Structure 1
Amino acid sequence: MVKTRHFSRWSALALILAICSTASLQAASVNYGNFGPVAPGITFLNVVESSGTDGVPLYNSPSPFATGLNFTPTVFKSTSTGGAADITDGQLNFTIHGQDGNGNNVAISSINLSENGAYTLSGVGTAATQISVGAIMNVKITEIDGVAVAPITVIGNASLAKNLVANAGVASPWALNVFIDVQNQLTTLGVPFVTGATRADVVLNNTLVSISQAGSAASVSKDNFQISIVPQVDVLPEPSTLAMAGLALCGAGLAGRRKRS
């Protein structure tokens, strides 16, 4: 955690910018390995978390579910009292690969980050006593329709802020969501595809900030964190299926001719 006892010199924005200068100091990291493929064919490769401010793990080991990963953080929080300020930053890196067990391409149509937790703003003070939450999702598409391409980067972000004057409370809920429509982004950029993006490198950066005053306390925690994918499967009919369909059409044509005769 990055702390200061001089809240008047800091704002939530200043603290978020401060983390950029400490990101290069990410000495601590945890590699959780690979997960999947989960139906219908999404694999998460080399899932790594790190932090420039705190020891890890912050997110904890993920649990895979159909088309996604679920994390249950237990110590991902920021707390300050008596005029202190605190920032906690966590980062997740992983690669998404789309392919089912039969070798069919599975497109990464969209990627969604959803998270929630609780915050507390209490005591005596002004709007300078505050908490903020920020999330940035950087997606680098490296493969389309199973073929490697020059990287195409798309970015999504979201943030929220609460202060003692407008949002005082104890263990009050908060929620944040970042959604990237990958298929729509490719269409907007004029990138041709049949199925869509089949491999992408993802970097997620999460920040929790708390700023207090002499007579106040501020804290914010992350309790749930989830990454979900909307897949698009490219399944071509088997040759036998095409043959059966052709026979059925022929049969329908012969039946029609008999009726007319």
Structure 2
Amino acid sequence: MFKRTGQFTKWGATAVAVTCALCWTTLAQAASINYGNFGPVAPGITFLNVIESSGTDGVPLYDVPAPFATGLDFNPTSFTSSSTGGAADITDGQLNFAVHGQDVNGNDVAISSINLSEGGLYNLFGVGNAATQIAVGAILNVKVTEVDGVAVAPITMIGNASLAKNLVANPGLAQPWNLSVLIDVDAQLTTLGVPFMVGATRAEVVINNSLVSISQPTSTASVTKNDFVITIVPTPDNIPEPSTLVLAGVALCGLGCARSRKQA
């Protein structure tokens, strides 16, 4: 945790704190853990070189991921930000990995969309005003490097989401929060005018997460992340092989001839 003492008296402090947290990894020497590769999982998604790091805290924050069909499930146990007595605290985490779409037979599988969803609990209690608050921020950066199995110049797609709670509007203990970010890869490729038959088949992903807590002299603020899931929506390569198209054409032609003879 990156702690700062002194009272924050303006709501705008949240935006500043979240921005600082999301940039912190580039300003500090980050601790990191490489969890390796996961997959392929049906219908053919592989997660490569999954690395977590933090510029504010020791790792792990996210903890070891558990792969499932088309995704990774993290269950953080120490990803938290807490402050009391007028202090502020920022906890920043980052995930880096590549996503590759290819089934066991070597056929392309499109990475149609990438979604992250996260949740946890927050506490806001004591005596104070809206300056006692918590904030959560997430930035999902997807860089497509392969389309239809062919390398392309990197195509960057970015999504973000945030939320904030304060002592006046949202007081309480062990209150739930949830956040999600979706990148519709197919839609963005179409919008950018990138032609494809199957879709994006490889992408480099960077996820920046931050938790911020800001307290006043007689109040306490804390926020914890206890669930984090990355989900890929895949599209298998269902385009028929040229030989299949020829056979289908011959079959249709045969049906047509047989129908003509019957009518005669």
Q: Normalising to structure 1: TM-score of the pair?
A: 0.94
* Change over 3 Å in CA distance of 1:192–1:241 after alignment to 2: closer
Partner of 1:91: 94
Per-residue deviation, residues 151-200 of structure 1 (Å, max 9, x unmatched): 11110000000000000011011000100101111111111111111111
Q: Give the conservation status (yes or no) of the 8 Å contact 1:104–1:235.
A: no
Structure 2: runs of 5+ lacking an equivalent: none
> d(CA) in 2 for partners of 1:253 and 1:247?
10
Q: Quick check: 2:99–2:203 contact (8 Å CA) kept in 1?
A: yes
Structure 2 distance, partners of 1:78, 1:60, is: 16
Distance (Å, rounded) in 1 between the aligned partners of 2:226 and 2:124: 17
Q: Distance between the aligned counterparts of 2:24 and 2:32, measured in 1?
A: 18
Runs of 4+ in 1 over 4 A off after TM superposition: 238-244
Structure 1 counterpart of 2:15, which letter?
L
Match of 1:3 in 2: 3
Please list the CA deviations of residues 223-251 of structure 1 after superposition, one character each: whole Å capped at 9, or x if unmatched: 10000011111134367755664564344
Counterpart residue type for residue 93 of structure 2:
G
C-alpha separation in 1, matches of 2:49 and 2:232:
17
Q: Distance in 2 between matches of 1:184 and 1:244?
A: 33
Shift of 1:15: 1.8
Distance apart, 1:253 and its partner CA: 2.6
Say whether 1:114 aligns with 2:117. yes
39, 42, 48: which one pairs with 1:45? 48
1:153 maps to a residue whose letter is T
What is the aligned length? Answer: 261
Which among 50, 53, 69 is matched to residue 66 of structure 1?
69
When the two chains are superposed, the root-mean-square deviation of aligned CA atoms in Å is 1.7
Q: Secondary structure at the match of 1:167?
A: coil
Query: Sequence identity of aligned pairs in percent?
Result: 70
**AA partner of residue 8 (structure 1):** F
**1:98-247 alignment, distance < 5 Å:** 98-237=101-240, 242=245, 245-246=248-249
Superimposed CA distance per residue, residues 2-43 of structure 1 (whole angstroms, 9 cap, x where no aligned partner): 111202278222222333245332331000000011111110
Which letter maps to 2:2? V
Whole-angstrom CA distance in 1 between matches of 2:240 and 2:17: 55
Q: 1:259 to 1:233 in 2, by over 3 A?
A: same
Closer, same or farther in 2 for the Cα pair 1:237/1:188, shift >3 Å?
Answer: closer
